[in-house]
Amino acid sequence: MSALVFRSAVALAQMIRDRQLSAIELLDAHLKQIAQHNSKLNAICTLDEANARLRAKQADEALAKGENWGALHGVPVTIKDIFETAGLRTTAGYIPLRDYIPQQDATAVARLKAAGAIVLGKTNMAELAGDYQSTNSLFPRVNNPWNVEYTAGGSSGGSAAAVAAGLSPLDIGNDIAGSVRQPAHFCGVYGLKPTDRRISTTGMIPEVPGMPYCLRQMMTVGCFARSLEDLRLCFSLIAGGDPRRPDVPPVPLDYPSGKSLNDLKIAWTEQWVEVPIAPDIRTAMQQVIEKLTQSGVQVHAWLPENFDLSAIFNLYSRVAAYINRYAQPADRYNLQRSLKLIFRTATQGDKKLRALGDFSRVLPELLNPSLKGYFEALTERDRFIAQLDTALESWDVWLTPVAATPAFTHRPAWSAIEVDGRSYPHGIANGAYAMPFNLSGHPAVVIPIGQTSHGLPIGMQIVGKRWKEMELLAIAQQIDTVIGAFRSPPDY
C-alpha cells in the first residue's frame, strides 16, 4: 500500500504548499495506484493523464513563483462521469453520449479547478444514474474494492470505489435517491448529500444536452472523501449561488455552534418498522449507540410523529415521475430500459414490500402528466418538509441506517435482494432509508461505522437541519472520533 495516496486532500495540499511534495510526484503516485488497481475495479472510465500531467507541471511552476491557486493547489481529483468537463469526454454511461466532449465545465467542476484541483479522470457510474449498481453499456461494471464479486453501489459506484482504493482523494457525485450515500456505505468512505439546491447542478447529466432543465427538486450534488475534513473542504468550495442557475439561492455557509459532544441531543432510529435492516447493520448501529452513550452523549430512540413511509414513498415517486418525465431522453433504447427496471421492481421481492415502494403506481402520471398534478405533488412535498423541519427542531442530528443491506453480489439491474431470508425489491433495499431525505431536502452525511461478518463496510447516515451542513459535519466529526475512522481495503 502506498501511504501517500491514502493521505487526506487537506494534508496533501499542505505538503505541496510546504514543498514537501511536488504536484508531479503526487500525480505519479496516483497514476501508479490506478495502473495497479483500476483494471480490476473499473472505477475510472476515462483517464486524462496527459492534461493532468501538464496541469501538475504548471502547478509546480506557479508555486515556485509564489503563486497559490487555492486550497487544492496541485491535488488530483476525479469527477463522476455525469458532470461535464471541458475538453474531456462525458458520457453518463449512455451510448448516445459515447463521444460527447463538452465545451464548458459543470459549475461544481469549475469551482474545484478554481481552487487548484487537477482533474485526473472521470469515474464510472450507472447508466444515466438510473441504478443502485454501477453498470452501463459503455464500460465494464464497477467492482467493490473490498470484494470484487460485490457491487460498489450506484449510481456513483466508481466515485466511492476510486476514493476507497486510493485512486483519488476526492470525487463529486449526485444524489436523488441515495446515489452518494449508498455507495459510500458500500465502500466504507464518507459521503455528503447537502441540502436540496445548496450546490448548483449546472452541467450535470441528466438533463442530457438539448433537454430542458427539469430536475429542479430532490437532485443534489455531493462529495466523497476518506475524511470529514475533506468533505468539509470539498463542500465549502463548490456550494453557493450560481449565475448559470438562478434558482440556486446564494445562502451563505452556516457556522458550527461549537457544542461539545456531551451537550448534543441526538435522535436515532434503528430501522423503519416496515423495512427491517440486515442483522450486521443492526449490530453495528447498536454498537455506535453504546459507544456514544458510554461517552456521555444523550442519544434517544426516536421517530417523527406521522412518519408514514408508504405515503412518503408514494409522494417521492410522484415528484420523481414528474421531474424525470422530460429530463430523461425519450429514445426507444432508454424507454425499453426504464420500463424493464419498473417491471422488475414491481414484480420481484416480497409482495408487502413491493406494495410499499411500487413505482408502477405512478405510471399513469408518468405517461400522462398534468401541470395540476405536478403542483399538487409539490404542495404535498412542501407540507412534508415543514413537518420534518418542525420535528427536527428538538434534535441536533438524527442517526439512521443508510440502506437495508450492505454491499451485495452483482446481479441484473433492479433485481431483488435477500435480507435475512426475505426477498426485498431492489428500490426498497437500497433506497428506503435514503429517499425520504431527498424528498425533504435535508442534508445527510454517511460515515463508516464497522464491517459485516464477511468483511464488507457498514455506514451510518447522520441527518441534519436544512442549510446547516457545516454544523452537521462538525457533529459528525465528533461522532466519528468516538466510533472510529476510515479503513482502507486490504491489499491497496
Verify whether residue 295 is a known catalytic residue: no
Residue ranges in the chain whose pLDDT is less than 70: 1, 330-339, 342, 359-360
| pLDDT at residue 485, rounded to an integer | 79
| pTM score above 0.95 | yes
DSSP characters over 190-254: EEEE-STTSS--TTBSSSPTTS-----SS-EEEEEESSHHHHHHHHHHH-S-BTTBTTS--PPPP
| pLDDT at residue 330, rounded to an integer | 66
Verify whether residue 80 is a known catalytic residue: yes
Q: Which of 134, 156, 179, 227 is catalytic?
A: 179
How distant, in Å, are the alpha carbons of 294, 397, 477, 491 from that of 482?
A: 10, 16, 9, 26
Other C-beta atoms closer than 10 Å to the C-beta of 466 total 18
Taking each helix axis from N to C end, the angle separating 279-294 and 469-483, rounded to the nearest 10 degrees, works out to: 90
| pLDDT at residue 363, rounded to an integer | 74
| pLDDT at residue 484, rounded to an integer | 83
Rounded to whole angstroms, how far apart are CA atoms 206 and 239?
20
All three cell numbers of 214, joined, read 427539469
Q: Which of 155, 159, 168, 488 is catalytic?
A: 155
Backbone angles phi, psi at 199, to 5 degrees: -120, 135
| pLDDT at residue 56, rounded to an integer | 98
Rounded to whole angstroms, how far apart are CA atoms 117 and 129?
25
Verify whether residue 488 is a known catalytic residue: no
| pLDDT at residue 52, rounded to an integer | 98
Domains located in the chain, CATH noted: 11-146+156-174+195-238 (3.90.1300.10), 261-466 (3.90.1300.10)
For β-strands 147-151 and 44-47, DSSP reports them as: unpaired
| pLDDT at residue 310, rounded to an integer | 93
| pLDDT at residue 75, rounded to an integer | 98
Find where cell 416496515 sits: 274
Query: 207 preceded by cis ω (within 30°)?
Result: yes
Q: Which of 22, 80, 159, 168 is catalytic?
A: 80
Burial of 155 (0-12, 13-18, 19+ CB in 10 A): buried
| pLDDT at residue 156, rounded to an integer | 98
| pLDDT at residue 337, rounded to an integer | 67
